[in-house]
Amino acid sequence: MTRWLALAPLAILGALALLFSLYALKHDPKVQPRALVGQPLPDLTLPSLDDGRPIALRSLATGGKLVLVNVYASWCAPCELEAPQLMALKSKGVVLIGVAYKDAPANTQAFLARVGDPYAYRLVDRDGRAGIELGVTGVPETYLVDGKGTILAKYPAPLSETDVQSLLIQLQR
């Protein structure tokens, strides 16, 4: 009996190695889940960072213009790196809706004061439930939403200068 117990860790390690070889080695890390692309923006109501009043996210994204919904957090280092790209989009007249993900409002406000505030609307997802509805896999993530509230694209990483140029072309159509 003790001999079997001594071999149990090796058996578990072997099973984990088999699972890794079947999934991880064949999984393309560049493939990002885009389950909501082509779907309507989820019907979410979130509090405003400014005054706490509830705002329906979809109502902000159905005004006939393309908008960007950016999910970010003050504790997110890549979000800080992305900030200049978002400010560049704002300077070009792009409407950005910010969703502060799993963040204390005071921390979010301090973050925006430090890196710049590109958002026309600032919403709070304190418990992360809206992130689940949006299919957030990590922050930052940005969604391109058409004027009818349909998600056209998902950017699951900090926006680069190339992404900004591509978005500006799409937004001018």
Q: What is the pLDDT of residue 9?
A: 72
Find out whether 32 and 105 touch, Cβ atoms under 8 Å: no
Q: Cα-Cα-Cα-Cα dihedral of 150, 154, 159, 162, to 10°?
A: -90
What is the radius of gyration, based on Cα positions, of the chain?
20
pLDDT at position 75, please? 97
Distance CA 88, CA 164 (A): 8
Segment 120-131 shows an average pLDDT of: 96
What would the pLDDT profile of 28-42 be if each residue is shown by its tens digit?
A: 444 455 678 999 999
| Distance set, CA 5 to CA 11, 14, 16, 49, 138 (Å) | 10, 15, 17, 55, 39
Q: Given a cut of 70, is residue 157 above it in pLDDT?
A: yes
Q: State the DSSP H helix or E strand holding residue 121, giving kind and residue range, or none if neither.
A: strand 121-125
pLDDT number for residue 22: 60
Q: Is the pLDDT of residue 25 over 60?
A: no
With a pLDDT cut of 70, the percent of the chain lying above it is: 83
- pLDDT reported for residue 105: 97
The one-character DSSP state at 25 is G
Range of lowest pLDDT (60-64, 73-77, 100-104, 120-124): 60-64
What are 99's two structure tokens? 């969703």
| Contact between residue 134 and residue 149 where contact means Cβ atoms under 8 Å apart | no
Domains within the chain, CATH numbers bracketed? 35-171 (3.40.30.10)
Return all residues near 94 (Cβ < 8 A) that are at least 6 apart: 67, 68, 167, 168, 171
pLDDT at position 103 is: 96
Q: E strands of the chain, at which residues?
A: 45-47, 54-56, 67-72, 96-101, 121-125, 141-145, 151-155
Give pLDDT tens digits for 53-76.
999 999 998 888 899 999 999 999
Q: What is the mean pLDDT of residues 132-142?
A: 94
Give the chain's mean pLDDT. 88
The pTM of the whole model exceeds 0.85: no
